[in-house]
Chains A and B, each alone.
Chain A
């Protein structure tokens, strides 16, 4: 996941989609929808499907006016996704859900750390672990890892400097490492 892996070149596929080709649009959708869902699972848990629908609605409305290559298109889609996620978060504050958000937004670190290290890591467990990061950290890590964006592209989306993105990435990885069996790993290194 990450780079374009369609049968045809991305530029031609995108032009076909802009011309109304449903198959071309489906190819683009299959390429970007999974990372979009995972990114939303990390940064906007609880509103993944709703936000994803709004993102694709915006993308289809503005797809005809888009100009750029594969990386530009991916960065644009996640820029749209971030804005829709922010809108969703604001709506959620005005209209609180019936159940407390903490019950399904934040995973229990104690329940996942040992199992993640020892067993085969499942996708959902990994996303749940990323949710334990601070909002800035998980957003940057999700854009860098899940969306496959560079530091500069991520910095442009989150409106931060490249250095700030590097610092956030560094702290996020350190936090993850400490949560994933800090005791055992620390012993192995220091010995």
Chain B
């Protein structure tokens, strides 16, 4: 085997170099040459190379350091007003801008939402929530229901109050005077005549026909509850035949109602089976009607479908919301139907929690703890 070890003194990595190549190098020798190791044992062929590499690593010359002032001037120009270098490269600047953009966007959204809430332009649920939140910080904005129902109303009423008295009242007054004059001429009692023969009241005279009187009535008298004895109600209501029962068109528009002239209960009261099944406890909690398809708003249609068989609306089925026992005797003609007709009602009753509150236990159980918490907080 012909050959020799490079760097024979220290046996670098055991690589065998050929004898006929004077420029053969090992990795260790390459590193020593590159690092310009002074006491490195390099082959004679590389002694000039060592001199070259040592020359390029000489200390700096004055010519090389001549541009120091210009470099410092360049450095000074990069110093910010705060006296330091800008610490942000483009990536850092982008990272800084992100929170600013987010904050600006959030501020815009809050401002727009607040403006919409102040003007009552938000949807009703959102408006209600905004009103509640802002009311806590002392800002009063229209409530959702108020904004949807009450805001337009004052405008109309205000315009009516402004425009109608200006012309209609004058015409009314002149018409009243003419009517009084004609009545006087016909021998009827004059206005304010309280003698037994007088049949007209001042409010009755205001019904001048042609709609002018009807427009004036609401302005003079605000709506009152039915049965309060307002003298204006008969003017608006159509004439009712004497002896016919008064039917509330809203409560039962199409169902026959027992005549008030027959106050006695039926001789054989029919007790609906549903009332026999319904426990009183459920009535007190207000859950039994719901489980039977009763009083909740969602079940109004189902209740009416049952009540159309002859019963009044659901509100009068037994006074369950008031907590009283079902008045089966007084509602003989009422046949609300068995609760089993309503899909899902038996599982509500049978599969209720052991607390005896079938139906919607979460709704019921969720209320009192909140109240308790509020009271504790208070």
Asked if A pairs with B, the answer is yes
**A180 CA / B55 CA spacing, docked (Å):** 14
**A130 CA / B57 CA spacing, docked (Å):** 13
Q: Tell yes or no: B65 within 8 A of A by CB.
A: yes
Which one of B43, B44, B60, B76 contacts A1 once the chains associate, using CB atoms below 8 Å? B60
Q: Please determine whether A123 and B55 come into contact, CB atoms closer than 8 angstroms.
A: yes
Give B78-100 as 1s and 0s: 1 = Cβ < 8 Å from A's Cβ atoms.
11000111111100100000000
Q: Please determine whether A20 and B84 come into contact, CB atoms closer than 8 angstroms.
A: yes
Q: Tell yes or no: A83 within 8 A of B by CB.
A: no
Q: How far is the CB of B358 from chain A (nearest CB, A)?
A: 68
Q: Please determine whether A116 and B56 come into contact, CB atoms closer than 8 angstroms.
A: no
Q: Tell yes or no: A109 within 8 A of B by CB.
A: no
Q: Tell yes or no: B61 within 8 A of A by CB.
A: yes
Q: How far is the CB of A93 from chain B (nearest CB, A)?
A: 27
Q: Please determine whether B34 and A145 come into contact, CB atoms closer than 8 angstroms.
A: yes
Q: How far is the CB of B377 from chain A (nearest CB, A)?
A: 51
A52-79 contacts to B (CB < 8 Å): 52-53, 56-57, 60-65
Interface size on B, residues (CB 8 A): 48
Contacts of B76 in A (CB 8 A): 22
Q: Please determine whether B46 and A177 come into contact, CB atoms closer than 8 angstroms.
A: yes
Contacts of A61 in B (CB 8 A): 78, 86
Q: Tell yes or no: A19 within 8 A of B by CB.
A: yes
Partner-binding segment picked from B19-27, B168-176, B245-253: B19-27
Residue of A nearest to B65 (CB): A30
Q: Please determine whether A126 and B34 come into contact, CB atoms closer than 8 angstroms.
A: no
Q: How far is the CB of A120 from chain B (nearest CB, A)?
A: 9
Which one of B30, B44, B48, B84 contacts A170 once the chains associate, using CB atoms below 8 Å? B30
Q: How far is the CB of A26 from chain B (nearest CB, A)?
A: 5
Contacts of B45 in A (CB 8 A): 177, 185-186, 188-189
Q: Tell yes or no: A104 within 8 A of B by CB.
A: no
Provide 19 A-B residue pairs closer than 8 Å at the C-beta atoms, listed in order of the A residue. A19-B83, A29-B68, A29-B75, A30-B60, A33-B60, A33-B65, A63-B85, A64-B86, A64-B88, A65-B89, A116-B51, A116-B52, A121-B52, A126-B56, A145-B57, A173-B49, A186-B45, A188-B45, A190-B22
User: Which A residues are within 8 Å of any B CB, using their own CB?
Assistant: 1-2, 17-20, 22, 25-26, 29-30, 33-34, 37-38, 49, 52-53, 56-57, 60-65, 116-117, 121-123, 125-127, 129-130, 141, 144-146, 148, 151, 166, 169-170, 173-174, 176-178, 180-181, 185-186, 188-190
Closest 6 CB pairs of A and B: A34-B60, A64-B85, A189-B22, A180-B48, A64-B87, A126-B55
